[in-house]
Structure 1
Amino acid sequence: MLELLLCSVLTVLPDYLYRRFAEGKRIGKEITLYSMWFELRWGIITCLMLTVGLITVIFYYHPSTTSATLYFRTVPIAPEISGRVAQIYVSGVSSEVKQGAPIFRLDSSTQEAAAEAARRKIAEVEASMVSARTDIAAADGKIQEAASAVQQAVDELETKQELNRRNAAIVAPREIEKLQNLVKGRRGALAAATAAKQSAEAQISSLLPAQKASAEAALAQAKVELAKTIIRAGVSGRVEQFTLRVGDIVNPLMRPAGVLIPDVSGRRTVIAGFGQIEAQVMKVGMVAEVACVSKPWTVIPMVITGVQDFIAAGQFRGGEQLIDPQQVVRPGSILVFLEPLYDGGLDDVARGSSCIANAYTSNHDLIASGSVGGFKSLMLHAIDATGLVHAMILRMQALILPIRTLVFSGH
């Protein structure tokens, strides 16, 4: 409507003034409701053509969309393990939580029993190490005893053999054989005592430390599993839809306890979807404005910080069937990220609110560079000036938005 009124001032009004003062035709006499089309045909046709062209220029170089929202992230409150709720630390269905604060605790009797079993195993291994040290001391005594017995048997054997060499009739051969067997037996006892000591030393140096390390690892695992029974807030935010009660069964896959909305989520960015035809116009750094339903009669200045260079409607997932482009019913849109031009611009806007967004093309830097000719510079000035019309339309939409929502929508 604004475009039509503006174009009529430049076309229909001059045509009428010419008919009135140059040709002397008056409204109600020569210019009537039935003859208006014939008398003002040049102005009306020119007005329609100029209006269509102006609307095209405005909507192309200064795109607008009603698909703009303050998206925010939600974190499901779910434990890593299944279990029965034993204690709840937050109160009410909705409450504030800080990062690391406990939300609820699951029954931890199984995990505590596993941790206690691991502690008992560590104590058992430490007792075995003390016993092994005692065995080493006992093996040392047996080695000394066996060594003395071997030495005594060897001395006695050497004495008998010496006497036998001097006079064979003094010592019987049978007695020498018995002494030789005695020496072999006592040497075997010495070897057994030495092996027992080595076995005890191996237990202290290798086996028992390995068993203790395994028990400590089991204890650490039990502590990790025990820590999983306490569900804490990963970020500071607000717990919503928290209806969990003591005794409920919670499953990480099928039944989360509620949702956690981070404080910073949805406070800095408005995500808007513009038409595909405006893909060449949308650039990072463009000035924009938004008007949101949750903050009526307010236009918030924004700046474009990101333009997604792909369209979600064209995505596909590999499978056993070929894709058909005709299956894409909706053409999709260009995803644009907008942030407030000034700090705190979105503080009073409810997260998830629907908004109307306008983006404005600016050719000031290109014109100031002097790299364009005079005619093109004039056209770029005209394109920038048409952004005023879209800015006026946005303010009119922001003005009538509460009336349209509260009165005409029936809410």
Structure 2
Amino acid sequence: MVVLLLLIYAGLCVAVFKLLRAPVNQWTVTTAVVGAILIVGGILAGMNYNHPYTTNARLYFYTSPIVPIVSGPVVEVAAEANKPVRQGDLLFRIDPRPYQFIVDQKQAALAEARQSVKQLEASVRRAEAALGRVQAQQDLAQQTYDRQAELLQKQVVSQAALDAASRNLEAARQSVAGAEATLDSAQIAYASNIDGVNTTVARLEADLHAAEYNLAQTQVVAPTDGYIPQMLLRPGMSVSAATPTMVFVHSRDQVFVAAFPQTAIPRLQVGRPAEAAFAAAPGRVYAGRITVFADAIAAGQLQASGTIMDPASRVGSAGDVTVTIELGDDFAARQLPPGSVAKVAVYSDHWQPIAIVRRILLRMQSWLNYIG
């Protein structure tokens, strides 16, 4: 920036001395030098404070490590490097056979458990029938005992007959108690459920769902629209759960961030107009506005640790303040590669005539991108 201003000033001096034939002597040369210091210095001071400028700006993008949930050998790699994929498209597939076997086992166990539930229901019905049968026998034994007791009073039967009827009645009562216990046990086993589902069936259903989930995870798909910048995975390689296999670049939600020195903070406000000149787009300047002003500077962050913070370790850099800039629709149509760097200027309402110089210098720097 300083070089460009000096070159412009030098060009004006050459025009004055050559075209206007101004005399070249110690007074005119001294005046030109002092003028360079005052004019260029003043313009730089006014621009740098009122219309901040930075070369530290970048188009950031989001990435995600593709981490399989299950382990096994890779049988198919569907994605290709730098080829766009849509959300849900297959990236690669792990051998599903071991997980299919587990699903089959869980399905068989679940079918067996459901059949067992029917058997428990039948056991309850049998226990109810048995209880009704012994209760009828108890009623008959009670009637026999009552009749024998009445006949004994009339001295028609002996005491032995009444004793036999009493023993039969007691045996019938014991049978009823046993049948009731059997029915209670059958009802408890049948009634053991969660939300109307037998507990064993519910547990096996959960196991089956987990097995089906693991089977589905053998197909690793794209989390969003994007692409794989490097595809090193090949069929036959083994992958492990929780181990990254590749990096996925998300096509959406790119963010353009510029970092400014802290002296520019008074002029960095949300809504301020800004312009960006990307090295990847020579000769072009894109307009935008500040949408987010970071409320914190990274150099000042503190985290809990087992050591005492040493302030001397942070003396080297004061830290920059970052802003997020939303560029116009013409930039969105350009499709610059993620990670592209740029030079950015932000314009305030102060010293607006100097903003014209800043705009001109930014465009000159954009033109210089043609020659690297």
| Shorter-chain TM-score range | 0.7 to 0.9
- Taking the aligned partners of 1:139 and 1:49, their CA distance within structure 2 comes to 109
Alpha-carbon distance, 1:346 to partner: 5.6
Name which of 219, 222, 237 aligns with 2:208: 219
Name which of 119, 127, 141 aligns with 1:139: 127
- Taking the aligned partners of 1:284 and 1:122, their CA distance within structure 2 comes to 61
**Partner residue in 2 for 1:234:** 223
* Percentage of matched positions with identical amino acids: 26
2:55 paired with 1:66: yes
**Partner residue in 2 for 1:100:** 88
2:163 paired with 1:177: yes
CA contact (8 A) 1:340 1:346 kept: no
CA contact (8 A) 2:52 2:345 kept: yes
**1:209-257 CA distances to partner (integer Å, 9 max, x unpaired)?**
1222222222222222222222121111112212212222223544x22
TM-score, L = length of structure 1: 0.79
**Partner residue in 2 for 1:398:** 366
Alpha-carbon distance, 1:69 to partner: 1.0
Which amino acid in 2 is paired with 1:353? S
- Taking the aligned partners of 1:88 and 1:47, their CA distance within structure 2 comes to 64
SS at match of 1:290: strand
CA contact (8 A) 1:69 1:355 kept: yes
CA contact (8 A) 1:81 1:251 kept: yes
**Partner residue in 1 for 2:73:** 84
- Taking the aligned partners of 2:334 and 2:102, their CA distance within structure 1 comes to 49
Alpha-carbon distance, 1:42 to partner: 5.4
2:270 paired with 1:284: yes
- Taking the aligned partners of 2:122 and 2:335, their CA distance within structure 1 comes to 76
Specify which structure has the bigger relative contact order, considering alpha-carbon pairs within 8 angstroms and separated by 6 or more residues. 2
**Partner residue in 2 for 1:296:** 282
Q: Are residues 125 and 9 of structure 1, via their aligned partners in 2, closer, same or farther at CA, if it must alter by over 3 Å? A: closer
Q: Are residues 315 and 100 of structure 1, via their aligned partners in 2, closer, same or farther at CA, if it must alter by over 3 Å? A: same
Alpha-carbon distance, 1:46 to partner: 4.8
**Which has the higher mean CA deviation after the structures are superposed, 150-159 or 278-287?**
150-159
**Partner residue in 2 for 1:408:** none
- Taking the aligned partners of 2:64 and 2:236, their CA distance within structure 1 comes to 23
CA contact (8 A) 1:4 1:48 kept: no
- Taking the aligned partners of 2:205 and 2:15, their CA distance within structure 1 comes to 93
Q: Are residues 138 and 3 of structure 1, via their aligned partners in 2, closer, same or farther at CA, if it must alter by over 3 Å? A: closer
SS at match of 2:87: coil
CA contact (8 A) 1:292 1:356 kept: yes
SS at match of 2:34: helix
Alpha-carbon distance, 1:11 to partner: 11
Alpha-carbon distance, 1:71 to partner: 0.9
**Partner residue in 2 for 1:327:** 313
1:5-404 aligned at under 5 Å gives the runs 27=23, 32=25, 36-37=26-27, 41=30, 44-90=33-79, 92-167=80-155, 171-206=157-192, 209-254=198-243, 256-266=244-254, 269-328=255-314, 329-345=316-332, 347-363=334-350, 383-403=351-371
**1:126-152 CA distances to partner (integer Å, 9 max, x unpaired)?**
222222232233333323332332233
CA contact (8 A) 1:61 1:281 kept: yes
**Which has the higher mean CA deviation after the structures are superposed, 276-285 or 322-331?**
322-331
Q: Which has the larger radius of gyration?
A: 1
- Taking the aligned partners of 1:322 and 1:147, their CA distance within structure 2 comes to 83
CA contact (8 A) 2:276 2:345 kept: yes
Q: Are residues 185 and 310 of structure 1, via their aligned partners in 2, closer, same or farther at CA, if it must alter by over 3 Å? A: same
Alpha-carbon distance, 1:184 to partner: 0.4
- Taking the aligned partners of 2:10 and 2:124, their CA distance within structure 1 comes to 111
Which amino acid in 2 is paired with 1:251? S
Moved over 6 A (4+): 5-14
Query: How many residues end up aligned between the 2 structures?
Result: 363
Which stretches in structure 2 are left out of the alignment for 5+ residues? none
- Taking the aligned partners of 1:46 and 1:126, their CA distance within structure 2 comes to 97
- Taking the aligned partners of 1:173 and 1:66, their CA distance within structure 2 comes to 119
- Taking the aligned partners of 1:99 and 1:357, their CA distance within structure 2 comes to 33
- Taking the aligned partners of 2:99 and 2:188, their CA distance within structure 1 comes to 33
**1:33-77 CA distances to partner (integer Å, 9 max, x unpaired)?**
xxx15x664564354233322211112212211111111111211
Which amino acid in 2 is paired with 1:250? V
Aligned alpha-carbon RMSD (Å): 2.9
- Taking the aligned partners of 2:175 and 2:160, their CA distance within structure 1 comes to 23
